[in-house]
Amino acid sequence: MARAVGIDLGTTNSVIAAMEGGEPRVLPNAEGARTTPSVVAFTEQGERLVGQLARRQAILNPKGTITSAKRFIGRRYDEIESEKDAVSFDVVEGPDGTARFEVRGRQYAPEEISAQVLRKLADDAGKSLGEKVTEAVITVPAYFNDAQRQATSDAGKIAGLEVLRIINEPTAAALAYGLDKKANETVLVFDLGGGTFDVSLLNIGDDVVEVRATSGDGHLGGDDFDRRIVDHLADGFQQDNGIDLRADPQALQRLFEAAEKAKVELSTVSQTQISLPFITADATGPKHLDASLMRSTFEQITADLIERCVGPVERAMSDAKVTADDIDEVIMVGGSTRIPAVQSLVRRLTGGKDPNMSVNPDEVVALGAAIQAGVLKGEVKDVLLLDVTPLSLGVETMGGVMTKIIERNTTIPARRTETFSTAEDNQNAVDIVVLQGERERAADNRVLGRFRLENIRPAPRGTPQIDVTFDIDANGILNVSARDKDTGAEQRITISQSSNLDESEVERMIADAERHRQEDARLRAQVDARNELDSAVYQVERRLGELGDSVPVHEKARAEGLIEDARQAVKEEAPLDRLRTLTSELQQILHGLGTTTGAAGAGERSAGATTEGSDDDVIDAEFTTD
């Protein structure tokens, strides 16, 4: 039986949850953790690692380790100037001005990298549930535009998932808190994650969750706080030693890991110590970084980041036409909301209200997504989710201005039609330029797509009647059509190109994911066989030592010969069949040396456990590289 899940695809970490026994439950990954790092790595040996294993080797492989792919998803190369300068891997311009990651001579789309994370989450969850995971509700920041939503949906498709719905993270959080059971309350959701910041105002009651307004900053998150600590440490080190650690990718990676650890510690203590021995070297020898960081210093160097949260909160409150006194409850989402200065800011902006953090901020979004998956599959009743579009949508009209057809914060799904006409006499075609944004000048907004409506009957300007219809589905993805009332000529477009991936690219990535999945299965089988052979060698050697001289000379010689063959086979990475044959022969030798059937079975089970444990440390061969 296939299962539907909820997935919080995060910038730093991702979480997956499912409904069990009528309640949402976070599903642990293969390593037993409840969160999975959103990290994918490509090693020199051609292995693809996902999650904790990828993060663990990042210091030694900074160019081959991709982090924070969510910051790039659905965005063009000319939009990511600040982000690309802040990462250790190479971000290059791909086809048609898209952003791509380049690793070891190959380019990867952000959707492709996010798909690896989604695949690991789904595969690991399937093992936890005992059922294959095929359908998912995936969350995105409320302020994600159409391109970013479509790209996230593409990532799910590449991962082999049917994306039931794309929903906003703050809305999911409200569901997880069970706030839909409240009686007519106004709730503010403050969501500060690893890479993005969202704030939403919701009306809740009578089993309905209605988003009144949403705002945010797609370039503000916990990563930015880490970067301030990195710069603070690097500047101090450069002043003392004349060396800029940010120029060394390995040193920079170590700095970021230390910065994140320090940030977390400063949420509970007022001072932390940072020690990075052998961080670099010069002609005088190795250099070490030892520094103390006070919470007060951290708050000083991040004060402007905290203040950047003010604008979106005030804008959302203004759009929803509420004051601080109207807000009944404040809920916090995202690991960065544990920062004391952030909590103080929220109290200041909401009239002194203490934020509700009773649900783990790292898990709350995935739990809400699981509830929405349950709603869509009929497992959860009596919940109606009314989400909104985060930005206005419209077309370019005469004079280069944007005419809005669907206003920001309109409840979705939504359908609106406006009637336009021609700008010149006898005009027989019009170009429809679809825009997203809040600026008056068309050029200052994002172009989502363009198409041409032809075969308009020649007539004086202003005479033809052209209906332009915008239709947003529940995922926030847009369809636009234009129809000439006179001739019936019609043209339409689905804004899927905005994801920067055409259908053939998505299909190629799906095929590539499938191809890697088969490679990974072969790799896992090879690793398992090698570990089983190692275990058999160890058991035979131990038995020979226990029996000593009582072993007949010819049996001992045969056993030692097989042991030598086995070691050589492992060293030379012999074919799978050879490894299994040697394992079988060694197990026969073991049995012949007087091991009882029961003891042999126990030994094999022990070997299996050892194999599984060592897999985690070696290559995580199921690493979901799909």
Give yes or no: 565 in active site. no
437: left (phi > 0), else alpha (psi -120 to 50), else beta?
left
Omega before 413 within 30 of 0, i.e. cis = yes
Which residues share a beta bridge with 37?
Answer: 13
Residue type, 528: D
- Closest-CA residue to 97 (of 448, 447, 500): 500
- 258 and 240 within one domain: yes
How far CA 43 is from CA of 57, 384, 591, in Å, comes to 9, 46, 40
Q: In terms of pLDDT, which residue wins out, 355 or 177? A: 355
293 in any annotated domain: yes
User: Mean per-residue pLDDT for 367-375?
Assistant: 92
Residues 343-364 as b or e (16 or more Cβ within 10 Å = b): bebbeebbeebebeeebebbbb
| CA gap 335, 367 in Å, rounded | 15
CB 405 within 8 Å of CB 470: yes
| CA gap 83, 306 in Å, rounded | 19
Q: Reply yes or no on whether the pLDDT at 292 is more than 70.
A: yes
Q: Reply yes or no on whether the pLDDT at 449 is more than 80.
A: yes
pLDDT digits (tens, 9 = 90+) for 118-153: 999 999 999 999 899 999 999 998 888 888 999 999
Give the structural domain span for 451. 393-500
SS3 427: coil
**Domain end among 387, 418, 449:** 387
SS3 532: helix
| CA gap 441, 357 in Å, rounded | 42
Residues composing the chain = 626
Q: The pTM is what?
A: 0.68
End-to-end distance of the chain based on CA atoms, in angstroms? 21
Q: Reply yes or no on whether the pLDDT at 513 is more than 80.
A: no
- 116 and 33 within one domain: yes
pLDDT digits (tens, 9 = 90+) for 399-410: 777 888 998 878
- 468 and 416 within one domain: yes
Strands 162-168 and 271-282: unpaired
Q: In terms of pLDDT, which residue wins out, 62 or 602? A: 62
Q: Reply yes or no on whether the pLDDT at 615 is more than 70.
A: no
83 in any annotated domain: yes
Least confident of 348-362, 370-384, 458-472: 370-384
> Annotated catalytic residue: which of 111, 124, 154, 191?
191
Q: In terms of pLDDT, which residue wins out, 172 or 424? A: 172
pLDDT digits (tens, 9 = 90+) for 253-264: 899 999 999 999
Given this model, what pLDDT does residue 301 score?
Answer: 96
Report the domain count for the chain: 4
- 254 and 183 within one domain: no
Given this model, what pLDDT does residue 1 score?
Answer: 53
> Annotated catalytic residue: which of 111, 146, 154, 169?
169
Strands 430-436 and 414-420: unpaired
- 58 and 138 within one domain: yes
Assign 621 a pLDDT band (cuts: 50, 70, 90).
very low
Give yes or no: 440 in active site. no
- 299 and 334 within one domain: no
Q: In terms of pLDDT, which residue wins out, 623 or 90? A: 90
Query: What DSSP element (H or E) covers 112?
Result: helix 110-129
Q: Which CATH number belongs to the domain containing residue 265 in this structure? A: 3.90.640.10
Give yes or no: 191 in active site. yes
> Annotated catalytic residue: which of 8, 111, 217, 534?
8
> Annotated catalytic residue: which of 47, 70, 362, 404?
70
SS3 531: helix
**Domain end among 500, 524, 554:** 500
Given this model, what pLDDT does residue 506 score?
Answer: 55
Assign 375 a pLDDT band (cuts: 50, 70, 90).
confident
- 54 and 145 within one domain: yes
Token pair of 398 as six digits: 């005469």
Find all residues with CB under 8 Å of 497, minimum gap 6, and list them. 449
- 322 and 291 within one domain: no
Assign 622 a pLDDT band (cuts: 50, 70, 90).
very low
pLDDT digits (tens, 9 = 90+) for 162-200: 999 999 888 898 888 775 556 688 999 999 988 889 899
Q: Which CATH number belongs to the domain containing residue 314 in this structure? A: 3.30.420.40
User: Mean per-residue pLDDT for 211-234?
Assistant: 90
Residues 118-133 as b or e (16 or more Cβ within 10 Å = b): bbbbbbbbbebbeeeb
Give yes or no: 263 in active site. no
| CA gap 309, 355 in Å, rounded | 15
**Domain end among 333, 363, 387:** 387
| Arithmetic mean of pLDDT over the chain | 84
| CA gap 362, 26 in Å, rounded | 11
- 215 and 250 within one domain: no
For 255, other C-beta atoms within 10 Å of its C-beta total: 25
The secondary structure of residue 556, as a DSSP letter, is H
Q: In terms of pLDDT, which residue wins out, 77 or 612? A: 77
pLDDT digits (tens, 9 = 90+) for 523-567: 667 767 887 898 888 889 888 888 888 888 888 888 999 999 998
